[in-house]
Amino acid sequence: MNLRKEARNRPCMVRAPGICSGDDSTTVLCHISGGGMGMKKPDLIATWGCSNCHDAIDGRRYGLEKDYRRLLALEGMQRTQEQLISEGKVKW
């Protein structure tokens, strides 16, 4: 299964307060940081995020503190994985 394609038109799971657009048409698979510059984690270590939330957790916009961005991303990853498990697309 292609988790990047699976993210298309899904609800944002990051849900950053005051930032999230709620626009499912902009949702992409957002990788959780931590692999080092230019290194991405596997696609399962990611969350579905709207374009606004993706910018926020990547630190491109909104000026959120690093720890808060990481918390938003990890909570989004949890919700994303729970959804994939409930749909039987990821086995637990």
Our answer to whether residue 31 is catalytic in this structure is: yes
Beta-strand relationship, 28-31 and 46-49 = antiparallel
The first and second tokens of residue 3, run together, are: 């988790």
39 neighbors 68 (Cβ within 8 angstroms): no
Residue 24 to residues 21, 35, 89, Cα–Cα distance (Å): 8, 27, 20
Q: What amino acid occupies position 23?
A: D
Per annotation, catalytic residue among 13, 31, 50, 77:
31
Enumerate the active-site residues.
31
